[in-house]
Amino acid sequence: MDSSQFRQAAHSAIDEIAQYYDTIAERPVLPNVAPGYLRPLLPDGPPEEGEEWTEIQADIDRVIMPGITHWQSPKYMAFYPCNSSFPAMLGDMYSGAFNAAAFNWICSPAVTELETVVMDWIAKLVGLPDCYLSKGEGGGIIQGTASEVVVTAIVAARERIIRRRLADMPEGEEKLDRMAEMRGKLVALGSEHAHSATQKGAIIAGTRFRTVPAPEETGFRVTGAALRKTIEELRVKGLEPFYFTATLGSTAHCAVDDLEGIAEVAKENPDVWIHVDAAYAGSALVCPEYQHFCKPMEHYDSFNFNLHKWLLVNFDCSAFFIKRRRDLIDTYSIAPSFLRNEFTDKGLVTDYRDWQIPLGRRFRSLKVWFVLRSYGVNGLRAFIRNHVSLGEYFEGLIRSRPDLFTVVTKAAFALTTFHVNPRPGSPVSTSANAPNPAHEAYLNDFTNSAEAEYRASANEITKHVYETINAQREFFLTSAVTGGIYIIRVVSATPNAEEKYLKQLFELLVKTAEEGLAVPSADIPTRK
């Protein structure tokens, strides 16, 4: 493909992409294919001779589109969004054209320097303390995902505590043995509702992992007292907590941990690295009304959120801010001769390879730059606030039918969670240690197992409603089980989200719940 053919193919591809976005709301969100659908549609190997672009492009519709889940659809309300925008797509195009590995400054100075500038813009935009800016000891770096960031932070935290504890020991075999012994006692911590990335990161780092309780009574959030207690209990056992993931927007409910209380624990335990995972909800910090969450972060070690979730930058683009970049550099900096250059040797430049696990890196700051300039601060704030309002609208719809639904966690960062009430319908919060007609409807008697019976019934019908709606493929939702409660999660935060789609979903929920409740419990089908 020469430049003339590329120009023609690119025009054709862009026209097709634009048409896809113009019609995305009309497509079923979920694909209607079975596992293994793709292989029979393709030959056993690549063609011996190259094919024309028109033949290749035609297979997008024939082969690829049937297996696509349409994440940008306004009817996609599952997990969290993974938003795209046309300015970000253009950034990806330019990045692909320049195609620099960019592991150090000399590889392409613009790649490094734009990232430093843009990450400072982002830090100021979301209200982070000045300690996270590049003008001081900190700074920001773009990573692929929040999961990569957590692994990077855990390994750096592990090495930092070992460096501090064994700083006076001379290098040698005895020190290596002590380091290995220490690693075996280190414990990484995360909320019981934190993303699984913390547990996976602990496995990769070769350390232990423990959860910190975040019960329903605290709003599914970790308190400072709970973290302190967990640390103390582990130390009594001879273990050494060295890292904790604080959550700003938990996976299931978008709960926010007790950031101020945790800051006090951080002051008491300077060797425990506190990382804030705000993968989804962190984008809301562009709005001043949410920036009070940032004040305690001056006492933490690192912060992260995914611009590719809610801030219109295409996947992948995860903003990682560090208070002391030296903590990363001391862990990850290795300088073989082939990477040496006069600018690095003189300390005149930033080499982001020393802040991360991989060597090479993409020109991701370009798409961030394009989005920030295209939307502006006010445009991004309006985008976030619209989704927050949509979440509150949907919560109001759910609350309008208390006979059918119970809100488990109210709208937070556009996410609402709820469950379906079983026959005859009563709040899940009803205590089991007091007489209640709804409880007795299950047992014809007052017993202490009535609450469990109620929850089992609620879980059964909620799961049925959830699976029935997803099976129709018009909308895509996700569920979770927290505190023994099966919940449905609805988050409408795609670029084309509107009230009318939430109203359609609500009407479908009502219809499905009413039909499910009309069927005897034993006859409700179970999907496996």
pLDDT per position as a tens digit, 23-65: 999 999 999 999 999 999 999 999 999 999 999 999 999 999 9
Geometric angle at alpha carbon 173, from 171 and 177, rounded to 5°: 105
* Percent of the residues in the chain that have a pLDDT greater than 70, as a whole number: 90
pLDDT of residue 525: 53
Q: Determine if the pTM surpasses 0.85.
A: yes
Contact between 485 and 459 under an 8 Å Cβ cutoff? The reply is: yes
User: What mean pLDDT, rounded, does the chain reach?
Assistant: 89
Q: Kindly report the number of other CB atoms within 10 A of residue 93's CB atom.
A: 14
Contact between 375 and 312 under an 8 Å Cβ cutoff? The reply is: yes
Domain count, the chain: 1
Confidence check: pLDDT of 359 > 90:
no
Q: Is residue 295 part of a domain?
A: yes
CATH classification of the domain holding 146: 3.40.640.10
State both tokens at 62: 């024939």
Contact between 368 and 381 under an 8 Å Cβ cutoff? The reply is: no
pLDDT of residue 427: 43
pLDDT of residue 426: 43
pLDDT of residue 356: 84
Q: Is residue 158 part of a domain?
A: yes
Q: Is residue 514 part of a domain?
A: no
DSSP string, 100-160: ----SGGG-HHHHHHHHHHHHHHHHHTT--GGGSTTTT-EEEEES-HHHHHHHHHHHHHHH
Q: Is residue 495 part of a domain?
A: no
Distance between CA atoms of residues 491 and 393, nearest Å: 11
Q: Is residue 352 part of a domain?
A: yes
Q: Is residue 212 part of a domain?
A: yes
**Is the model more confident about 394 or about 172?**
394
pLDDT confidence bin for 334, thresholds 50/70/90: confident
Give the model confidence (pLDDT) of 93-131 as tens digits: 999 888 888 777 777 888 899 999 999 999 999 999 999
Q: Is residue 266 part of a domain?
A: yes
Q: Is residue 21 part of a domain?
A: no
pLDDT confidence bin for 528, thresholds 50/70/90: very low
Q: What is the 3-state secondary structure (H, E, C) of 407-460?
A: EEEEEECCEEEEEECCCCCCCCCCCCCCCCHHHHHHHCCCCCCHHHHHHHHHHH
Which has the closest alpha carbon to 385: 261, 497, 510? 497
Taking the CA atoms of 77, 78, 79 and 81 in sequence, report the sign of the dihedral they define: negative
**Which range marks the domain in which residue 250 is found?**
100-363
